[in-house]
Amino acid sequence: MGTGYTEAQLRAAAADAVRAPSLHNTQPWRFRLRDGAIEVCVDPTRRLPATDPSGWGTRIAGGAALFNLRLSLAVAGAPATVRLRPYPAEPDVLARLVPELPRRPTPTELSLYAAVPRRFSNRAPFWPDPVPADARWRLGEAARAEQCWLELVIGVTAVNAFAEIARSAHRVLERDPAYRAERAAWVRTEPAPDGVPARAGGPQTEPQDLLPSRGFGGLDRAPGRDFEPEPLVAVLGATGNTVVDQVLAGQALQRVLLTATDAGLAVSMLSQPIEVSGAREALRLSLGRFGTPQMVMRIGYGQPGVATPRRSVDEVLDVAVAPG
């Protein structure tokens, strides 16, 4: 055919795709060539059965990796047309990318791409500086460009109401020993290609904290309230909660995160209120929104984040797949 992607293009784009975030840095994705198309798949062996029984987190992570992949191909001059969930009988195949007409990358694609290696989760306290209106607007636009919405939780009352929902979800999850064991199994104190290094896990959680942190090992803290008293909380949502909605939300998440990085902002994710269905519904009602919340972010200015490891591209590629 001569119009498909090559293995070299797949490799180069997959190296950018794996920089995407994932629950506990499990990296639950695989990439392959089939008939000249690049396919993004969930790796079911890297799912977290206690933390993520429905597989929602694998599809958010897969969508985020897909966004990086799209960006990488576009910047290399080989942009893709994407079909989500192309095979009804293969739900783990999230997307199929075929080349569209070559064109030059747009300025937005170039600046988002430059942010890929600079984006890290930042779980430390942020500085008190407010996020300016134009940056807030850009974050909302980033979500809308990927067919999702971003709702900023503004004002002390709204932030406190959100914090109550998040803390109660956190308590529900923490009661489950399997959930706690799974998290402990993905905290790394020695070098490893996956999992959350303890040094990136943020400070210990203290009872006075407004928002619950996941508790990945934890650095020591000075006494007192050091987290920002009124954090900028943003809820990312999709129009529904199908597999396709979740993949769209993953792409939108990555676009929002890269837009934030490009604007000099730091972000941490907190998904406890998404993982507990009652909390997710309470969150949706508190926002007065239709659709489904898919991720929550804390956004502000802070010290640079800490890079976390990734598995090598060789470990996530399936190149020799027979035509399907």
Ligand X SMILES: Cc1cc2nc3c(=O)[nH]c(=O)nc-3n(C[C@H](O)[C@H](O)[C@H](O)COP(=O)(O)O)c2cc1C
Only one residue has tokens 């791409």, namely 113
Residue with smaller CB distance to ligand X, 84 or 269: 269
Torsion of CA 278, 281, 287, 291, to 10 degrees: 150
Return d(Cα 69, Cα 67) in angstroms, integer.
5
Q: Name the region of 38 (left: φ>0; alpha: ψ -120 to 50; beta: rest).
A: beta
Instruction: Return the structure tokens found at 34.
Output: 């089939």
Instruction: Report the number of secondary-structure helices (H) and strands (E) in the chain.
Output: 9, 11
Instruction: Return the structure tokens found at 24.
Output: 């506990």
Q: How far is the CB of 270 from ligand X (least distance, A)?
A: 4
Give the number of other CB atoms < 10 A from CB of residue 118: 14
Residue with smaller CB distance to ligand X, 18 or 33: 18
- Which 181-210 residues touch ligand X, going by CB under 6 A? 196
Binding piece for ligand X, criterion CB under 6 A, among 31-39, 69-77, 147-155, 267-275: 267-275
Question: Which runs of consecutive H residues, i.e. helices, occur in 18-121?
Answer: 56-75, 107-115
Q: How far is the CB of 36 from ligand X (least distance, A)?
A: 29
Tell me the three state secondary structure of residue 231: coil
Binding piece for ligand X, criterion CB under 6 A, among 98-106, 120-128, 145-153, 229-237: 120-128
N- to C-terminal Cα separation, the chain: 15
Residue with smaller CB distance to ligand X, 196 or 235: 196
Q: Using alpha carbons only, what angle is made at residue 211 by residues 287 and 252, rounded to the nearest 5 degrees? A: 55
Question: By CB under 6 A, is residue 283 in contact with ligand X?
Answer: no
**Count of residues interacting with ligand X (CB under 6 A):** 19
Residue with smaller CB distance to ligand X, 61 or 163: 61
Q: Residue from 13, 17, 23, 82 that binds ligand X (CB under 6 A)?
A: 23
- Site map (CB under 6 A) of ligand X, residues 46-85, x = contact: -----------x--xx------------------------
Q: Tell me if 270 sits within 8 A of 214, measured CB to CB.
A: yes
Q: Look up residue 228 and give its amino acid.
A: E
Q: Residue from 72, 254, 261, 268 that binds ligand X (CB under 6 A)?
A: 268
Q: How far is the CB of 169 from ligand X (least distance, A)?
A: 10
Residues found in the chain: 324
Only one residue has tokens 């940056």, namely 135
Q: Residue from 13, 24, 32, 131 that binds ligand X (CB under 6 A)?
A: 24
Q: Residue from 9, 254, 271, 292 that binds ligand X (CB under 6 A)?
A: 271
Question: By CB under 6 A, is residue 123 in contact with ligand X?
Answer: yes
Question: By CB under 6 A, is residue 120 in contact with ligand X?
Answer: yes
Question: By CB under 6 A, is residue 25 in contact with ligand X?
Answer: yes
Q: Residue from 14, 269, 279, 316 that binds ligand X (CB under 6 A)?
A: 269
Q: Tell me if 110 sits within 8 A of 75, measured CB to CB.
A: yes
Judged by the rule CB under 6 A, the positions of this chain that interact with ligand X are: 21-25, 57, 60-61, 120-121, 123, 196, 214, 268-272, 308
